[in-house]
Amino acid sequence: MGQIHLDKVSKCFGDVEVIPPLDLEIEDGEFVVFVGPSGCGKSTLLRLIAGLEDVSGGQVLIDGHDATTISPAKRGLAMVFQSYALYPHMSVRKNIAFPLRMAGLDKTEQDKRVVQAADVLNLTDYLDRRPGQLSGGQRQRVAIGRAIVREPAAFLFDEPLSNLDAALRVGMRLEISELHKRLATTMIYVTHDQVEAMTMADKIVVLNAGVVEQVGSPLELYHQPCNTFVAGFIGSPKMNLVQGEEAASYNATTIGIRPEHVMISKDNGLWKGTVGVSEHLGSDTFFHVKCDAFSAPLTVRASGAVELDYGASVFLSPDTSKLHRFDQTGQRLS
Amino acid sequence: MATQHSRSAARLMMAPAVILLLGWMLLPLTMTLVLSFKKYLPLRGGDLGWVGFDNYVRFVSSSAFWPAVTTTLIVVGGVLIITVALGVLLALLLDQPMWGQGIVRILVIAPFFVMPTVSGLVWKNMFMDPVNGFFAHLSKAFGAEPIQWLSQASLPSLIMIISWQWLPFATLILLTAIQSLDSEQVEAAEMDGAGAISRFRFIVLPHLARAMTVVVLIQTIFLLSVFAEIFVTTAGAFGTKTLTYLIFQRVLESQNVGLGSAGGVYAIILANLVALFLMRVVGKNLDA
């Protein structure tokens, strides 16, 4: 079981309120991702759940029991840290066995579980090495191994992939998702990378300045962002958010249109503009188009086959059915 | 520093410093070696010719030799144990966030700035004096007979004085080591169910191993040649005669330079033995 309920949890550091009272429900077996820009309080929130920080107000309930004042060790949660936090002077085997040793398990049981975990994570060949002799990805796996041997109620990941290179990150992303499917244990995952959030999560919690902006499945957030912050944060490249007369014509203060929902044409369209920088990814090309109607350039996603030179005159037309409208406070108008 | 040319230029430019250092070290060493094979009595005839290994035999067969070696080892060992153990505790304490941290840290370092002669005299006259010393007053306040520190418990007193001097050094190095410990590691151990003592035993202590090694090795170098503290407190009496002090007595009090030089060579051998032993025991901590 790994059901976690936050009831009006808040956190202050001195006079600074980092997290205003916040409610959140995490179901058993869910993969929840906390995402937000750096400094939005997502790591702090995770540490509050872990018990590494004391809450300033409210309650943390784990499986229905009040865990607010329980020590981190007794909450039955396991955490994977950003720096992996492996014990450098212990072998991989001892690192993974450490929580079991602390729990006072007998030696044979420890060995059995370590070997099992190593098997799951492809670490069998590295058991007698020191962390210093491993690559980033392997260290990451050791950190996960140390978490899974405890058979915790929930896993907490604090930006675990941010120290890996891009290719490895994609691989580890898959591995963690795979692990979640296999173990079916609750996982809470903190990241500032919305791609990680979109690809891995069952449920995304978008945080901004300690406030939960929106909670929902990746596609809900993509299709129905409830305000301009979520709209701008979820999706890559970013949604185009424009204000002014053009927005007013749709009865909104701000309108948002995703780069993939704008048609680019040389001959005709709604908005006239000139092509700025274009980014070629092969499969797609992103054009930054400076339109006469807006002050900021629009990002447009087109097929990789489209070729346009810098400074070329083009016309853009949005797919109006995919248009997002927001009022003056940034809230979504349905 | 890649090309042949730049390398030879570098060698040329380093030469003066290297030659100076070599001369600085080699000249006294050679003189000591030469004198150790001579009968050289400055006030009783000066250079009286070569005597072979006579000085070496006489120095070792003196009844003061082995006690001096033992005393040296006890002083070095005692001070090392006390400074490392208390140093770790103090470092842990100073690492805690507390009010007036900056001032407390400076106060802790202060003893290191006191000259050995001064600290020896301060301890002798203000603390350990059996009539007017602070400890004597303390004993009397509790109705006990004051301890005659420097005569009845001379070696422990000496170790105490020297430890007091070197504790700041150990604390400082260990404190910086503790501060370099990754806080996520400690938190991970906490999540893994390690209590405060287990965290210290399995995370903090292994992390400090390298710093402790440095402290032990550096202190040993200086402790083997401790002199001023003995000179101003007991003047070598009451079993506080270390090898260094014995050599001093042979050279200056007995005016026998040859015999003292032989003792100097023994001191070099002892220092090397200790260094060898230490490198065996703790040296592997220095490897990354």
List of chain A residues whose C-beta atoms are within 8 Å of the C-beta of residue B181: none
List of chain A residues whose C-beta atoms are within 8 Å of the C-beta of residue B184: 81-83, 85
A interface mutation test: which of B184, B192, B212, B213 has the most A CBs within 10 A? B192
Banded pLDDT at B183 (limits 50, 70, 90): confident
In a 10 Å sphere around its CB, with 0-12 CB exposed, 13-18 middle and 19+ buried, how is residue A305 labelled?
Answer: exposed
Phi and psi based region of residue A40 (left: phi greater than 0; alpha: psi -120 to 50; beta: remaining)? alpha
Name the CATH topology of A4-230: Rossmann fold (3.40.50)
> Mean pLDDT over all residues of chain B?
87
Q: B188–A77: do the CB atoms touch at under 8 Å?
A: no
Banded pLDDT at B110 (limits 50, 70, 90): confident
- The pLDDT assigned to B74 comes to 93
- The pLDDT assigned to B177 comes to 92
**Tokens (6 digits) for B115:** 């000259």
Predicted ipTM? 0.81
Angle, helix B154-179 to helix B101-109, in steps of 10 degrees: 140
The answer, yes or no, to whether residue B1 has pLDDT greater than 70, is no
Banded pLDDT at B288 (limits 50, 70, 90): low
- Structural contact between residues A310 and A275, judged by C-beta atoms closer than 8 angstroms: yes
Share of chain A above pLDDT 70, in %: 100
Give the distance from residue A7's alpha carbon to the nearest chain B alpha carbon, in angstroms.
22
Cβ neighbours for B43, distance < 8 A, ≥ 6 positions apart: B255
Banded pLDDT at A333 (limits 50, 70, 90): confident
CA–CA separation, A30 and A202 (whole Å): 6
Banded pLDDT at A209 (limits 50, 70, 90): confident
- The pLDDT assigned to A34 comes to 93
CA–CA separation, A37 and A25 (whole Å): 22
Q: A89–B194: do the CB atoms touch at under 8 Å?
A: no
The answer, yes or no, to whether residue B105 has pLDDT greater than 60, is yes
Q: B191–A102: do the CB atoms touch at under 8 Å?
A: no
For A60-64, B42-46, B271-275, which range has the lowest pLDDT when averaged over its residues? B42-46
For B68-72, B189-193, B236-240, which range has the lowest pLDDT when averaged over its residues? B236-240
- The pLDDT assigned to A30 comes to 92
CA–CA separation, A234 and A311 (whole Å): 29
> Mean pLDDT over all residues of chain A?
89
What average pLDDT does range A320-330 have in this prediction?
88
Give the distance from residue A98's alpha carbon to the nearest chain B alpha carbon, in angstroms.
7
Answer whether CATH 1.10.1200.10 is correct for domain B4-286.
no
List of chain B residues whose C-beta atoms are within 8 Å of the C-beta of residue A88: 207
- The pLDDT assigned to B81 comes to 95
List of chain A residues whose C-beta atoms are within 8 Å of the C-beta of residue B188: 79, 81, 85-87, 146
- The pLDDT assigned to B14 comes to 92
CA–CA separation, A44 and A215 (whole Å): 18
CA–CA separation, A262 and A302 (whole Å): 8
Name the CATH topology of A238-333: OB fold (Dihydrolipoamide Acetyltransferase, E2P) (2.40.50)
The answer, yes or no, to whether residue B285 has pLDDT greater than 80, is no
- The pLDDT assigned to B19 comes to 92
Please name the residue that has the structure tokens 């329980």.
Answer: A70
pTM of the model: 0.79
- The pLDDT assigned to A295 comes to 82
Model confidence pLDDT, tens digit, residues B248-271: 988 888 888 888 899 999 999 988
Model confidence pLDDT, tens digit, residues A282-297: 899 999 999 888 888 8
Give the distance from residue A130's alpha carbon to the nearest chain B alpha carbon, in angstroms.
11
Domain ranges for chain A = 4-230, 238-333
